[in-house]
């Protein structure tokens, strides 16, 4: 399978706990994006990487959120001291950045977070 892989698919946690999600992009893709999506809404941009560099972070990304892509391959998104408002689907997507690129994103199946 050469698609975008995310795990865990579903995480249930108690408020105040830390959670970490992992995303493995399509291997030749150099860009990796994290989005958050709540029910019935469109994806909200959180952050993106080109290779290992984090190029942009949304203002929505509080200091409880941190993302890394240490070797330019897989990425992790950690949420510290979770709050009930963090309950959402966290989507990862990857793309190939190039001068002729279309910007098409390939999405994983998402990691659903439920904070009790």
Among 8, 101, 114, 116, binds another protein (CB under 8 A): 101
- The single residue listed with the structure tokens 């001291």 is 81
Helix (H, G, I), strand (E, B) or coil at 96: coil
In DSSP terms, 75 is beta-bridged to: 23
Total of residues contacting another protein (CB under 8 A): 25
Among 56, 64, 114, 116, binds another protein (CB under 8 A): 56
| Choices 19-27, 33-41, 62-70, 71-79; region in contact with another protein by CB under 8 A | 33-41
What are the angstrom distances between the C-alpha of 104 and each of 74, 98, 101? 19, 11, 8
Among 40, 71, 84, 85, binds another protein (CB under 8 A): 40
């Amino acid at each position: 399978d050469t698609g975008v892989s995310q795990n865990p698919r579903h995480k249930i946690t108690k408020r105040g706990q830390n959670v970490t999600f992992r995303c493995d992009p399509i291997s030749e893709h150099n860009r990796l994006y994290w989005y958050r999506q709540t029910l019935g809404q469109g994806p909200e941009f959180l952050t993106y990487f080109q290779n290992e560099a984090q190029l942009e972070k949304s203002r929505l990304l509080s200091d409880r959120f941190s993302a890394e892509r240490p070797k330019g391959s897989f990425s992790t998104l950690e949420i510290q001291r979770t709050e009930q408002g963090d309950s959402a689907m966290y989507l990862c997507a990857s793309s190939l950045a190039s001068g002729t690129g279309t910007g098409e994103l390939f999405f994983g199946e998402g990691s659903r977070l439920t904070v009790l």
